[in-house]
Amino acid sequence: MKQNSLRVVITGASSGIGAATAVAFARQGAYLVLGARGREGLEDIATRCREAGGQAEIGIVDVTDAGAVATFAAAARAALGGIDLWFSDVGIGVVGKYLDVPMADHRQVVETNLVSHMNEAHAVLPVFVHQGHGIWVNMISLGGYITSPYAAAYSASKFGLRGFSAALRGEMHDHPDIHICDVYPTFVDTPAIFHAGNYTGARLTYPPGALAPETVANAVVKLARQPRATTVIGMPETMLKLGQFAAPLTNLLMKRFMDRWSRRAEPARDTVGTMYTPAPDASGIHGGQRRHGGQRNTALAVGAAVVGVALAARLLSRRG
């Protein structure tokens, strides 16, 4: 192993943002251990990492199983000789009105998006404490600040994940070289949309202006050099936080939008996606729905709308 080469572990590495981040680190000569449930997807990305100039090993792991995560972390530590950065990227979603989605699916979303990240932190933080350094990068998303009707469990898991990170940051205060870093992208064009559970009766699509996975990957790679608590990608951080003031109104507007969209979109059958089993084949990095050239304009439009709604909500509250 080359001196000063980063030792990186990525979960959810078989597709999407995790896969793009693995390749981005590999281009810098990193040594990687990649984890996910699906062997085909992991082997595909590991091959891409080696072709990009990195070293990569894979580990099949269901991160909702705390014991399996502990075993995976121990194997990664042994393979790498230590862990400099751990990227906790596993996430799933189910789209549909809360009462239309089975409780088992809601539970699976919370287990995957929140409890699995807790399992990973519980496994790797002792390694960081022993080393005296380490960076835990926690993939959250826009959903950690702005709730989304038709995705109640997803919203619950992401809000919980943001609180979990904040608590860990407080506990790690006496370890100045251990960093807890949260990443909040807006919509990203990955295969995740094809993996989601869907009870809307309509085919899921990304809105215009979805980010490229590589944009998020580059932001994560930057955290290895310059760790920071909060990284927002796709819109200004201040606008994202202002959206919290406008939650009642934005929820109503989003609910009406989703109602209208589900009636007009191309029909689709209900599906659980890959919530319970991995994709049968390699999924790759991209979702194939990104429209080039619209990202900046869409981000600015979303940001302006958030600010406008926030200000309106504040004025209404004062009048009341």
Topology given in CATH for the domain delimited by 7-319: Rossmann fold (3.40.50)
Joined together, the tokens standing for residue 71 give 């075993």
Point out the least confidently predicted range of 41-50, 118-127, 228-237, 310-319: 310-319
Q: Give the number of other CB atoms < 10 A from CB of residue 174.
A: 7
Alpha-carbon distance 197 to 276, whole Å?
Answer: 10
Q: Per-residue pLDDT tens for 58-71?
A: 999 999 999 999 99
Give the residue numbers marked as catalytic.
154
Point out the least confidently predicted range of 46-60, 92-106, 200-214, 240-254: 240-254
Q: Per-residue pLDDT tens for 22-35?
A: 999 999 999 999 99
Joined together, the tokens standing for residue 250 give 């934005």
Q: Per-residue pLDDT tens for 92-136?
A: 989 899 999 999 999 999 999 999 999 999 999 999 999 999 999
Domain-wise residue ranges, the chain: 7-319
Position of tokens 């399992």? 119
Q: What's the one-letter identity of residue 112?
A: T
pLDDT at 308: 39
pLDDT at 283: 72
| H helical segments located in 38-174 | 39-51, 66-80, 103-110, 116-131, 152-171
Q: Give the number of other CB atoms < 10 A from CB of residue 16.
A: 28
pLDDT at 306: 42
Taking alpha carbons only, the member of 211, 124, 114, 226 closest to residue 181 is 226
pLDDT at 305: 42
Is the per-residue pLDDT at 175 higher than 50?
yes
| Mean pLDDT across 70-83 | 98
Q: Is 86 helix (H, G, I), strand (E, B) or coil?
A: strand
Predicted TM-score (pTM) of this structure: 0.83
pLDDT at 148: 79
pLDDT at 101: 95
Q: Give the number of other CB atoms < 10 A from CB of residue 304.
A: 12
